Chains A and B, each alone.
Chain A
Amino acid sequence: MSTLTAHHATITLCHRRDLVAHSGVVAWHDGHQIALFYLPGQPRDTDVPDRSEALYAVDNHDPFSGANVIGRGIVGNVGGERVVASPIYKQHFRLRDGVCLEDSEQPLTVWPVRFDGDAVVLETKTSEETK
């Protein structure tokens, strides 16, 4: 299902009931694996606009091990930053921008997601056709 807006197309990945509070799940999107982290009751991250509840989406692919496991990492803070720790070699990735705290040259791709009601939606690129 997809909805059209003036500038963005969105795709529904899953619903709130599919998420696990304070932890991660993984969604499939067009050949990509997207790890979704949901932090209910947490104030939203001011650096990220349009985010009514703390919801993050990053690549599920761990660049250090080569395995698709990021969605199974532990969520927490390091030095005040929200991060997920890779379950294999334990590197920390910042949830808001995917930067790896141990090695800034190996970031995770961040996906633009938000809640639309109970739906978790991914904003896709604007295209001429959707205008």
Chain B
Amino acid sequence: MNTPNIHPTPHDADASSMPRLIVIGNGMVGHYFLEQLVEHGVHKRLAITVFGEERHRAYDRVHLSEYFSGRDAEALSLGDADFCARHGIALHLGEHVLSIDRHAQTVTTERGDHAYDRLVLATGSYPFVPQIPTVDDGTGHAGLVYRTLDDLDRIREAAAGVAESDQRRGVVIGGGLLGLEAANALTSLGLEAHVVEFAPRLMPVQLDDEGGRALKRQIEALGVHVHVDHATTEITRGERHRYCMHFRDHEPLETDLIVFSAGIRPQDRLARESGLTLGERGGIVIDDTCVTSDPSIYAIGECALWSGRLFGLVAPGYTMARTVAGSLAGLEGASFTGADMSTKLKLLGVDVGSIGDAHATTEGAVSYRYIDEANHGYRRLVVSADGRTAIGAVLVGDNRYYDTLLQYVQNGIALPEDPASLILPHSEGAPTLGADALPETAMICSCHNVTKGAVCQAVEGGCGDLGTLKAETRASTGCGGCTALLKQVFEHELESRGIEVDRSLCEHFAYTRQELYGLIRVEGIKSFEALHSRHGKGELGCDICKPAVASILASCWNAPITDPSLVPLQDTNDTFMANMQKNGTYSVVPRIPGGEITPDKLIAIGAVAKKYALYTKITGGQRIDLFGAELQDLPEIWRELIEAGFETGHAYGKSTRTVKSCVGNTWCRYGVQDSVAMALTIENRYKGLRSPHKLKFAVSGCTRECAEAQSKDVGVIATEHGWNLYVCGNGGMRPRHAELFATDLDDATLLRLIDRFLMFYIRTADRLQRTSVWRENLEGGLDYLKDVIINDSLGLCEALERQMQHVVDQYECEWANALKDPDKLKRFRTFVNDQRRDPDIIAVSERDQPRPARPEEIAALTVEVTS
């Protein structure tokens, strides 16, 4: 071979002399490949350069449709933004590779030539667009595709251009996996979605006729129109909509935009032009080590053709990436020998699963079928001719059967006497294969190639919680389809080792917050002492359990937090009903519901601030924060604020903070509802509600979303027909877009759903867990939450509403309560035996307002006084 040694010894590893590795493509597989290189330390021995033709760094294409339901490009990105920089990998985004010169071992991009010693093609695939005569209106809205973020931007643009008064409509050509995802995306944009499929059924690759039929009915029930057996012949100008599609043997269909999702083709242009061997119908031919016909060039992912097969799923691409990374690292035996194409997905909320030989093409294969016409469910089990092993399955409507069936198929586990029992309905779902029945080699996570053996090993090595297990093994961090199975195996392994997972709140309570909540509510416990004596350990409690219990007591019974038995439990902020600042003074935040305030009240705040020399600042939640209040002044400050009509703003509590709002249709020419009135209703209903962590709300009067509702725990956005409800958003350190929870709600239904949602969160969240983190840890995810809150699947909703009503009825302004009671006010003395103020609180003036003096300023002042 005329290439240099690719494994130099570490001591001669100097960047300029290092062998050069070029990677073309920064998609999911390309990125995973880089991660694998770093894992093996290859980045320290090779100078790695990556070219990606998209302007975005690698992102999660599997969840692309979420781009329209709350996740932006950054949220979809894979790995940290500085991953490449941190590991010395040169990443060139938005740079097209024009050609490869295999003889000179260089690649040419738009910006120059780059030499390589090894080259990896991870170029993926491109959408196939069939030739259909189409009217040219210069917009391209009849020829959209669905693969990249830029494609999605174009779809959004096309949808936005349609006059809003009409019912906007979009068509997807292609009823495969991606086509249905695209239809989902159109639905998220508010379009009436149609799917046009050439074949007689949906998902022809994965499903059989009966499965396709069941899926079609389920999807139609969700409002997506499905047209199978439709061959598009021509696209002309439409009358009611932009375009009119014509079909062989069917009525035409008008639409405003057309997205092609009729399959993908391997992106093999560079390989073709540089003379690498390709398959008859495209695809770069590779061997078991992913080497192409040129020994210096590898191909991985959707562009690679192995044994005459292309692999359009991410898991086989990852296996190829591991193979190449392994051989570059000098590991023996890394190889790609085909991949299981089983898939489990949720399309438009409908479960679909396809395992192994779903079409029963194996000779002598026998099928069992279960058809539920009432609920459009379908399950098929394919077994070998001798009836001993399962070889394939199709599932529509219920994927709870998937994990077990997959294990039977993958591990050749002997079938039960009546194989049909595996797909027949049981009161508790499928008979699950116990985790101990799985062999060590059983694949748990196929995205990251994690076997049961690897999980056992991690547990053996001391891994004691699911989060650590995921971080260590990477299991369940790809598509996430194996989450439930992973948990089951993990817990079984822990149990079999006699390990109990310690989820105690602290050394005083061997319970989780959720369990303590249950005890307090069921036993009607009203004080920390009662809870501690019945269920606690140790002597006093601590600064973890005391505030946590105080919060639960408040959420359940809502007694004034200034009651003597509750006072010692509170953090200083709750005790003094103000927010302690770094110099021991407090900030004071009166409630300004919805951010609406009269001039008189503004003047009153100004007068108080002036009188007590407070620094004032507008908060992000549309209120005014007054800083620098000394402990002993708090009661007088509040007496004056309450006289002016204010209430406490609970800025100090883990509780309802603010409901931010835009000005709504009262003033705004775009507004469609009265967002301020709704914000007031919400804030006045939930003010004083204590919860595991703070709660922020917002109400926007139209889709322009000026109140930023999608970054709140509860966000409400007006529609022409009512309100859309978003939940579990977060700003702050780990921003998270809120998710659309329910649409077009009337006022009463909106409040009812928020009641239930908040109380369910309060019941089940951990201590100091925001709704965003709670939601991410919620097993079953958003669908489960919807089931509980909207469909009342746990039969809890009536109780949740009742509890919320109790809290609402018990509301009293805590400051008003405290001011009535001289005993409670005794706490606001700086010194119990002296009238003086804290002499160490010193303020200086900056930009015409007070601020705490810095240590060096205080030192200077002291010198002045003493000298």
Contact = CB atoms under 8 A, between A and B. Distances in A.
Interface of A: 13-14, 18-23, 25-28, 33, 36, 39, 42, 61, 65-69, 72-80, 82-83, 85, 87-88, 90, 92
B796 interface: no
Interface of B: 507-508, 538-543, 545-547, 564, 567-573, 575-576, 580, 582-584, 826-827, 829-834, 836, 838, 840, 855
A67 B56 CA distance: 48
Contact of A72 (B564, B572, B582): B572
Nearest to A31: B839
A14 B827 CA distance: 14
Given A20-B568, A77-B508, A28 B546 contact: no
B582 A27 contact: no
B833 A20 contact: no
A21 B831 CA distance: 16
A75 B540 contact: yes
Given A68-B840, A72-B572, A13 B543 contact: no
Given A65-B583, A77-B538, 6 more contacts: A28-B831, A68-B840, A76-B546, A77-B508, A77-B542, A92-B543
A74 B840 contact: no
A18 B575 CA distance: 16
Nearest to B585: A67
A23 B540 contact: no
B25 to A, nearest CB: 48
B582 A88 contact: yes
A75 B582 contact: no
- Among B580, B584, B827: residue with most chain A CB under 10 A: B584
A39 B507 CA distance: 20
Closest 4 pairs between A and B when the two form their complex, measured CB to CB = A76-B542, A67-B584, A22-B568, A87-B572
15 contacts: A13-B832, A20-B567, A22-B540, A22-B568, A25-B829, A27-B833, A65-B583, A65-B584, A67-B584, A68-B838, A68-B840, A74-B546, A75-B540, A76-B545, A77-B542
A45 to B, nearest CB: 11
A72 B568 contact: no
B836 A20 contact: no
A83 B543 CA distance: 9
Contacts of B576: 72
Name the residue in A66, A67, A76, A78 with the highest tally of chain B Cβ atoms < 10 Å from its Cβ: A76
A13 B833 CA distance: 7
Contact of B582 (A18, A67, A76): A67
A20 B543 CA distance: 17
A27 B832 contact: yes
A33 B580 contact: no
A77 to B, nearest CB: 5
Contact of A18 (B570, B832, B836): B832
Contacts of A68: 584, 838, 840
Contact of B831 (A27, A69, A76): A27
A57 B785 CA distance: 50
A69 B572 contact: yes
B567 A87 contact: no
B831 A33 contact: yes
User: Which of the listed residues B545, B570, B571, B833 has the most CB atoms from chain A within 10 Å of its own CB?
Assistant: B833
A65 B832 CA distance: 23
Contacts of A88: 580, 582, 584
A74 B542 contact: yes
Nearest to A76: B542
Contacts of B827: 20, 25
Given A20-B567, A23-B568, A69-B572, A82 B539 contact: yes
A92 B580 CA distance: 18
Q: Most B CB atoms within 10 A — which of A66, A77, A79?
A: A77
A87 B540 CA distance: 18
Given A20-B827, A73-B572, A88-B582, A28 B540 contact: no
A2 to B, nearest CB: 14
A39 B540 contact: yes
Contacts of A25: 827, 829, 832
Contacts of B840: 61, 67-68
Contacts of B838: 33, 68
A69 B569 CA distance: 17
B79 to A, nearest CB: 33
Given A21-B568, A67-B584, A77-B507, A85 B543 contact: yes
A96 B539 CA distance: 15
A111 B840 CA distance: 20
A21 to B, nearest CB: 7
